[in-house]
Structure 1
Amino acid sequence: MSFDPFISSSLSRRWEDHPSSRTTYRLSRGPLSSSRWPATRLEPLQRWEQSDLSQASIVNAELLELRAQEREQLVGLNNRFASYIEKVRHLEQQNRVLLLQLEGLRRRQSQPSRVQQLYLQEVRGLREQLHQEAQNKARMEAQKEKLREAHAQLHERWEEEAQRRSRAEAEVQRLREEAGQVALCSCDAKASVVSLAQELAFLKQVFAEEQEGLRVQLQVASLSVELDTSRPDLSAALREIRAQYESLAGRNMQTAEAWFRGKVASVVELADKQEEAVRLVREETAEYRRLLQSRSAEVEALRNVIDSLNAQLGELEETQNTEVTKYQ
């Protein structure tokens, strides 16, 4: 057991504050003498002493009980103090263990382990890969944007070529119609030439018949002149008539030939013009056909390029979606 000054001082104060103890102390300071007290007062005094002794015994019993309680309290306090000491020792031991563990953790942090190095190396590799993938994504986005611009330009060019092709087809159709009209005109001109040739042959035949008739008449007249030599005035008149007729026939022949040559020249000129127009139409048609074929080839090439660009765009979008899904 250990000494507790607080408990002792409290017990001493309780003992001094008790009234019976002070009374007993005062009574015990001097002996009782019968000479000092009269006989008439001895009995009450004895009774009072007996009551005071009984109170003192009660107080002593209380003191004993109080001391027993104090002893029990001291034992409990000592036990609690011993348990506190054990707890403190246990906590100190745990503190030392924790300090050792903390020191070990500090050493581990100052010297990273192989697993941590591998982890950091893997993290750096993944970060580099992520950076590369981000760069690839940016490059693919730029390439995708360029392909979209090229696709838009090619689509505009394709629309322009389609419009040109439509205009060329319309021009070819117009030229075909004009060629048909020129062919009809050429056929009409050829028919006119044939009819004029037939008319010229008919006129030549009529003129030959008339000339033959006049020649027969002249021969008959010359025979009659030879038979009748006595009539010189008649032969002169016949010669004059013959000369007039020949001049008239010559003029008619010249007029008919001039008219025929004029008609033939006009028909030939018209035919030449029609042939030149037909040739020009054919050449222009061939040129438009060649241009149409070249435009068709360009349109087909542009369509193939657009299809390839659409395929590349699809592949880029699929690759980008795959990469985005992989990083999610």
Structure 2
Amino acid sequence: MAHTGTSEFISGSSVTAGEIREIREREKREMRGLNDRLAAYIEQVRFLEAQNRKLNHDLERLTKGKHAPGIRMMYEKEIAQSQAIIADAKRDYGNTEKEVRGLTADLTDIRNRYDAAVKARNLGNEDDLIVKLCDLQAQICMTKRRNAVIDEECKRIRAENLKLSSDLAAQRQMLEKESLQRMNYEHQAQALIEECKLIASSNNVKLDKYKYQDTTEENRAIFRQGLLEAIAEIRKLYDEDTSKFRSEMESWYSKQVIEIRTSSRLAADASTTKEKVKQLRSQLTEMRTNLANLEGRNHILEKLIQDLNYQIEDESRVTMAHLSEKDDEIRAVRAQCQAITVELEKLIIEKVNLDAEISKYRQLLEGEENRTHGR
């Protein structure tokens, strides 16, 4: 809308300047015609004065000689013709004077129109420039406010991003720590499993050995046969040996029970270690999931910040282009006003020169008329 109003103002100023230029050209043509007519009139008057002086000289010379009456008649006739020519010149002078008065009135009218046009142009131009300046200031304030809001949002997002980055770094450190602990636990569990396997293998070997060495039933059969053959002789010895063997067997069985209980405790510790490993693995999986979620959220926030930066750059470019366009329009309007002012000043100078030239021509015509009347 501002650009359209500026175009209409420029076109209106161009039409006014065109009309003034046309009037000036017309006045120049009329003045050239008047100058030509005045020059012809002055030349004719001078010619007639020279001819009159010559005729007076001839008249004086001839009055002293012969044929004076005929020559007098001839010169009187010439004088009548000259007076007729002078009368025509006076009529032309009167017409010229009327045209000069008409041109003076036209110049006064043009001057008034010019003053009115200058006042209207100055008022309209100042109002348009004030309106444009207000619009530009409002747009600049709105753009600055939007940029401030966007900067605050960017700062908030950057602070949140830094917090997320610190949280992510802390989670990564925790993850690395948990990974090291898990690896240590796995190594410990593997060592315990290997140790349990060795203990179980050793116990199996021992059990197989004891299984093959366990000949209690055979010994009892032998003892029964011996007792049947020599029950009286070795009863006492048999009781002592039986007691000793029973104590030894009880001690051996106790040791075996203790070893079996110890191996069961180790197996329970291994199962506990496996449960801990499973828990650590589940925690590791959960940490990886949280890390992936945080990385995805961080990626979304980075993309949002990038989009906001692009939007800020686009709005800044549009604002700068709009301001540059407004500055170009203001410079164009100022240049047009300057050109119109220069042209109007030239017209005023030419008008003053024209008034001076008309006054000079009027003085010349009045001087010639006074001199003609004096004669």
> Counterpart of 1:147?
167
Q: Does 1:84 align with 2:110?
A: yes
Instruction: Give the counterpart of 2:275 among 262, 268, 293.
Output: 293
- Whether the 8 Å contact between 1:20 and 1:52 is mirrored in structure 2 is no
Amino acid at match of 1:21: E
Q: Give the alignment of 1:113-192 within 5 angstroms.
A: 129-130=149-150, 132-192=152-212
- The Cα shift of 1:157 comes to 3.1
Structure 2 CA distance, aligned partners of 1:83 and 1:73? 15
- Whichever residue aligns with residue 273 of structure 2, its letter is L
How many angstroms apart in 2 are the aligned matches of 1:23 and 1:137? 108
Deviation at 1:144? 1.6
Amino acid at match of 1:163: M
User: Are residue 18 (structure 1) and residue 43 (structure 2) matched?
Assistant: no
**Higher normalized contact order (CA 8 Å, seq sep 6+, divided by chain length):** 2
Contact 1:144 1:316 in 2 (8 A): yes
Aligned Cα RMSD in Å? 5.6
Counterpart for residue 201 of structure 1: 220
Cα distance between partner residues in 2 of 1:268 and 1:72: 164
Tell me the equivalent position of 1:304.
286
1:1-328 superposed matches below 5 A: 14-15=42-43, 18-28=46-56, 32=60, 35-39=63-67, 49=75, 56=82, 60=86, 63=89, 67=93, 70-71=96-97, 74-75=100-101, 77-91=103-117, 93-94=119-120, 129-130=149-150, 132-195=152-215, 197-201=216-220, 203-205=222-224, 207-208=226-227, 211=230, 276-312=258-294, 314-315=296-297, 318=300, 328=311
Partner Cα distance (1:33, 1:17) in 2: 24
- The aligned amino acid for 1:38 is K
Contact 1:168/1:292 (<8 A) preserved: no
Q: How many residues align?
A: 270
Residue 27 of structure 1 aligns with an amino acid whose one-letter code is L
Distance 1:28 1:309 in 2: 131
Q: Residues 147 and 269 of structure 1: is their aligned pair in 2 closer, same or farther, counting only changes over 3 Å?
A: same
When residues 75 and 131 of structure 1 are mapped into structure 2, their CA distance, relative to the original with a 3 A threshold, is: same
Task: Please say if residues 192 and 270 of structure 2, whose CA atoms lie closer than 8 Å, have aligned partners that are also in contact.
Answer: yes
Partner of 2:334: none
- Partner Cα distance (2:289, 2:268) in 1: 31
CA distance in 2, matches of 1:139, 1:176: 53
The aligned amino acid for 2:191 is: E
Structure 1 residues 76-110: Cα deviation after superposition (integer angstroms, max 9, x where no partner) = 532441232222441465378569969xx69xx9x
State whether residues 161 and 299 of structure 1, in contact with CA within 8 Å, keep that contact through their aligned partners in structure 2. no
TM-score of the two chains, using structure 1 as the length reference: 0.55
Kept in 2, the 8 Å contact 1:165–1:296? The answer is no
> Could you tell me whether the CA contact under 8 Å between 1:16 and 1:22 is conserved in 2?
no
Deviation at 1:57, TM superposition (A): 7.3
Equivalents in 1 of 2:251, 2:78: separation in Å?
A: 181
Specify the SS of the correspondent of 2:214. Answer: helix
The answer to whether the 8 Å contact 1:186/1:274 transfers is: no
Q: Which residue number corresponds to residue 8 of structure 2?
A: none
Mapped partners of 2:277, 2:120: distance in 1:
94
- Normalising by the residue count of structure 2, what TM-score does the alignment of the two structures yield? 0.49
Contact 2:154 2:305 in 1 (8 A): no
Partner SS, residue 38 of structure 1: coil
Q: Does the CA-based 8 Å contact 2:168-2:294 persist in structure 1?
A: no
State the 1:140 CA deviation.
0.5
Go from structure 1 to structure 2 and tell me whether the alpha carbon gap of 1:36 and 1:209 turns closer, same or farther (over 3 Å shift).
same
Distance 1:188 1:207 in 2: 29
- C-alpha distance in structure 2 between counterparts of 1:139 and 1:21, whole Å: 107
Secondary structure class of the residue paired with 2:120? helix
Distance in 1, matches of 2:39 and 2:178, equals 118
Larger radius of gyration: 1
Closer, same or farther: CA 275–63 of 1 in aligned 2, 3 Å: farther
Q: Which has a greater percent of helix? A: 2
Per-residue CA deviations over 1:164-200 (Å, capped at 9, x if unaligned) read 45435533542453244134224224314422x2453
What's the CA shift for 1:134?
A: 3.2
